[in-house]
Amino acid sequence: MGSVGAKEVPVLLSPEGLRIDGRKLDELRPLRIQAGALHQADGSAFVEWGANKVMAAVYGPREVHPRHLQQNDKAVIQCRYNMAAFSVDERKRPGIDRRSQEISKVIGEAFESVVFAEEFPRTSIDIYIEVLQANAGTRCAGLVAASVALADAGIPMVDLLPAVAVGKVGGAIALDLKKEEDNYGEADLPMALVPQSGRLVLLQMEGHMSEDELARALDLGVKGCRDIYETMKQALRERYAIEPAHGESA
Ligand code: ADP
């Protein structure tokens, strides 16, 4: 522990350039994805990513509730992100707060840019994301889980949406922040990528970094997303026991 004023903060970067959990700056936390984890839902996925545990369930296309949200030319995409009361060290107040409302909105909007919603007018595609254990980057873990759940539900999409948070810790740009890095680091930059087009469909930033650092952070995040994309595709292959196409990496 180092000390800044009266507040004890952990040393986020060792002199050798290793992080609090021994990772390199460009290293992801271990990621495991199980597609089709729930039987009730039309599509589902369970994601364990570092100490995050996130379940996503997708229902639809189905009747719109509440009815007045129905659109005649396309499906509405409704997303609900929720953190369980037991998902954090100190019990979180149960229920929807401003943070989960904001995260639900940005995740829903990210999916609006990849789902072929116009194929299902007057219906709803409902995405539920439940964070069972949280350790930073849960909106990204939620996006990854929901993406695989949407694919598992057979919802047509331009592409899956890998996501990761990059940030600045101990003065260095780092991939996939864990809780201490998110809390005590200088910046946190969650992003979601459409791999085939290279388009970012979610980008948020807390904290501060220079223009040059931002460019490097984006580059690192895009590379991270491409690795996560492979794990997502692998989870779907395992679910449907599809062999990788010839020449394609697993
Ligand atoms: P993300 O999980 O996408 O990184 P935030 O940056 O808002 O979103 O949160 C970072 C982390 O802080 C969360 O993953 C969680 O571990 C913790 N956290 C968020 N909200 C709460 C809360 N209400 N109570 C306790 N811990 C929280």
In this prediction, residues 163-175 reach a mean pLDDT of: 98
Residue 49's H or E segment, with its range, is strand 43-49
Q: Mind listing the pLDDT tens digit for each residue in 171-185?
A: 999 999 999 999 999
Is residue 87 lining ligand 1, measured as CB closer than 6 Å?
no
Nearest to 23 by CA among 32, 31, 13, 11: 13
Residue closest to 82 by CA, chosen among 110, 111, 102, 62: 102
Q: What is the pTM for the complete model shown?
A: 0.94
SS3 state of residue 219: helix
pLDDT of residue 241: 85
Ligand 1 contacts CB of residue 178 (under 6 A) = no
Residue nearest atom 13 in ligand 1 by C-alpha distance: 136
For domain 31-238, give the CATH number. Answer: 3.30.230.70
pLDDT of residue 82: 97
Q: Can you tell me the distance from the alpha carbon of 120 to that of 170, in angstroms, rounded to the nearest whole number?
A: 48
Each domain of the chain, given as residue ranges in start order, spans: 31-238
Q: What is the pLDDT of residue 2?
A: 46
What is the average pLDDT across 105-116?
98
Give the three-class secondary structure for 17.
coil
Cβ of 189 closer than 6 Å to ligand 1, yes or no, is no
Q: Is the CB of 100 under 6 A from ligand 1?
A: no
Whole-number pLDDT of residue 112: 98
> By C-alpha distance, which of 143, 151, 159 is closest to 191?
143
Q: Ligand 1 within 6 A of 51 CB?
A: no
Q: What is the pLDDT of residue 3?
A: 45
Q: Which of 103, 104, 138 to mutate to test the pocket of ligand 1 (most atoms within 8 A of CB)?
A: 138
- Cβ of 134 closer than 6 Å to ligand 1, yes or no, is yes
Mean of the pLDDT values across residues 63-86?
96
The distance of Cα 221 from the centroid of its chain, to the nearest Å, equals: 12
What's the whole-number average pLDDT of the chain? 94
Token pair recorded at residue 15: 């002199």
Tell me: the pLDDT tens digits for 26-62?
999 999 999 999 999 999 999 999 999 999 999 999 9
| d(CA 221, ligand 1 centre) in Å | 20
Give the number of other CB atoms < 10 A from CB of residue 208.
Answer: 10
> Quick one: CA torsion of 113, 116, 120, 125, rounded to 10 degrees?
-50
Q: Is 182 in the pocket of ligand 1 (CB under 6 A)?
A: yes
> Does the beta carbon of 180 sit less than 6 angstroms from any atom of ligand 1?
no
Distance 195 CA to ligand 1 centre (A): 26
Least confidently predicted of 30-44, 86-100, 136-150, 178-192: 86-100
How many whole angstroms from 161 Cα to the centroid of ligand 1? 21
Is the predicted pLDDT of residue 243 greater than 80, yes or no?
no
